[in-house]
């Protein structure tokens, strides 16, 4: 989408004096106590700054905020909601930015969001609104309610009651700064996502994390800066239906934290049958997993995790003090696709007891099957698709060969360090008994 300046951009002789977004006047200006008005198109001019906002709704309405405009959110429950065919356009420039502040930083405003809203008597909202911003700085928003964290900016997906919908673009953010929040900077629910033109997003000074996004849209995180927060990670929610499209995870200089606190999530790629999904992870990406959260590759799924010696891909614990068995590991639920590969990676602190894919020939001192590996295969792959990879600190095996049939050796190119049991478990033979003793490299 091409960004264009409003027709009457501010000048240095603006009524507010200079560029209001830079001078930040507190007196005068314009109050906006009412909503945008259904079907209307309006412009907030820089010369009419500051623009004071209470609770404002763009329901099938369009609002353009001019370059140099200064917007003051009056605190408490103050918000701007964009729904149906509504659109908020706030496009400044490097020299003529737009600023959105709290009237009182000690009383944060709530949120700027897109939302699917269908009041009584209206047809279903199938658009959910759109927000386009460039060279905008938002400060001192986001609130905490009982059991709910409201971010400074939020987009809701269309599939709160319908599954398997494609991602829906709601936010086009270019050269935008979201700072001094009370929870998250940006939160995208369900299928909501950024436009592909989004870039140079800075989120800082958020006590929870800079961003939270759904697994199916993990590839949409824009370039930018996501440090200086309470927890410098991109939080990723598991989706009920998993990833059933192609997505590429890009390195963004902070880890992706997979899973919610105290929740046993499943990050599924593909399905048992039906729609396919491919997760490609670029070199240098770190994915941290919360407890009991496996990365599952199903029959129609493909995992392409091809790092380099200089920039390996890291799958690790999301705990502050990592320990063996913190998470469940990478699990291939069916015969892996021919395109699946894990190369030049690190898989560590996995192998918990949460989910076993089946039985292997037992070597556990406890006398039971210990089929909980850092990487596990329910069916025999055509090739040893894990190569040049460090597998370390597993609570059980390094690689679990949980199939029935002949072995496939994963040891020649991989390194196994500090795993509690075998480098690789031994699969159950198609005929006859397990060897005695059972090999345990």
Residue 253 belongs to domain spanning: 239-441
Helix (H, G, I), strand (E, B) or coil at 141: strand
219, 151: one domain: yes
Closest CA to 440 of 416, 430, 431: 416
pLDDT tens string 396-421: 999 999 999 999 999 999 999 999 99
Greater confidence (241 vs 298) lies with 298
213, 351: one domain: no
The DSSP code for 243 is B
| Cα(410)–Cα(393) distance, integer angstroms | 17
300, 429: one domain: yes
* Residue 2: band (very low, low, confident or very high) from pLDDT cuts 50, 70, 90: very low
399, 291: one domain: yes
393, 326: one domain: yes
**CA dihedral defined by 322, 323, 325, 329, rounded to 10 degrees?**
40
Tokens of 243: 């990833």
330, 193: one domain: no
The DSSP code for 375 is E
243, 222: one domain: no
Position 314 pLDDT exceeds 80: yes
Phi, psi of 81 (to 5 degrees): -115, 130
175, 275: one domain: no
215, 333: one domain: no
Q: What is the pLDDT of residue 121?
A: 87
Q: What is the pLDDT of residue 263?
A: 66
Q: What is the pLDDT of residue 6?
A: 43
53, 189: one domain: yes
| Cα(396)–Cα(373) distance, integer angstroms | 6
Question: What mean pLDDT is predicted for residues 81-99?
Answer: 97
**Listed residues 237, 266, 282: the one ending a domain:** 237
Query: Which of 268-277, 363-372, 416-425 is predicted with the least confidence, judged by mean pLDDT?
Result: 363-372
**Listed residues 222, 237, 252: the one ending a domain:** 237
102, 80: one domain: yes
216, 243: one domain: no
Q: How big is the chain, counted in residues?
A: 441
**Listed residues 237, 256, 275: the one ending a domain:** 237
Question: What mean pLDDT is predicted for residues 310-337?
Answer: 96
- Domain count of the chain? 2
pLDDT tens string 143-158: 988 778 899 999 998 7
């Amino acid at each position: 989408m091409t960004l264009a300046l409003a027709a009457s951009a501010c000048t240095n002789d603006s009524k507010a004096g200079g560029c209001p977004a830079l001078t930040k006047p507190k007196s005068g200006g314009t109050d906006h106590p009412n909503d945008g008005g259904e079907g209307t198109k309006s412009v907030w001019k820089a010369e009419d700054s500051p623009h004071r906002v209470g609770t404002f709704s763009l329901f099938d309405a369009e609002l353009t905020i001019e370059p140099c405009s200064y917007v003051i959110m009056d605190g408490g429950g103050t918000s701007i909601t964009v729904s149906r065919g509504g659109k908020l356009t706030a496009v400044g420039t490097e020299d003529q930015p737009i600023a959105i502040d709290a009237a009182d930083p000690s009383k944060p405003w709530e949120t700027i969001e897109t939302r699917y809203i269908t009041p009584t008597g209206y047809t279903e909202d199938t658009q959910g609104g759109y927000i386009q911003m460039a060279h905008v700085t938002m400060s001192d928003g986001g609130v905490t309610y009982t059991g709910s964290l409201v971010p400074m900016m939020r987009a809701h997906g269309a599939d709160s009651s319908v599954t398997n919908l494609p991602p829906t673009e709601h936010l086009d953010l270019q050269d935008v700064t979201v700072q001094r929040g009370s929870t998250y900077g940006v939160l995208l629910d369900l299928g909501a996502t950024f436009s592909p033109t989004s870039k140079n997003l800075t989120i800082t000074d958020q006590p929870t994390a800079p961003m939270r996004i759904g697994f199916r849209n993990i590839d949409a995180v824009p370039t930018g800066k996501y440090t200086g927060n309470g927890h410098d990670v991109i939080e990723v929610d598991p989706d009920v239906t998993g990833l059933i499209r192609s997505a590429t995870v890009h390195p963004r200089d902070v880890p992706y934290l997979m899973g919610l606190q105290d929740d046993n999530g499943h990050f599924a790629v593909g399905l048992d049958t039906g729609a396919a999904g491919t997760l490609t992870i670029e070199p240098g990406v770190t994915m941290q997993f919360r407890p009991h959260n496996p990365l599952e590759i199903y029959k129609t799924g493909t995992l392409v995790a091809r790092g380099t010696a200089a920039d390996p891909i890291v799958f690790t614990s999301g705990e502050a003090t990592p320990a063996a068995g913190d998470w469940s590991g990478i699990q291939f639920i069916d015969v892996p696709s021919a395109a699946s590969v894990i190369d030049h990676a690190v898989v560590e602190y996995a192998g918990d007891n949460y989910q076993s894919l089946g039985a292997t020939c037992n070597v556990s001192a406890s006398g039971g099957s210990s089929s909980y590996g850092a990487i596990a295969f329910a069916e025999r792959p055509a090739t040893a698709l894990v190569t040049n990879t460090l597998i370390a600190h597993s609570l059980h095996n390094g690689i679990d060969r949980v199939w029935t049939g002949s072995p496939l050796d994963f040891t020649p190119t991989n390194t196994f360090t500090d795993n509690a049991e075998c480098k690789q478990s031994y699969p159950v033979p198609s005929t006859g008994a397990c060897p005695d003793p059972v090999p345990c490299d």
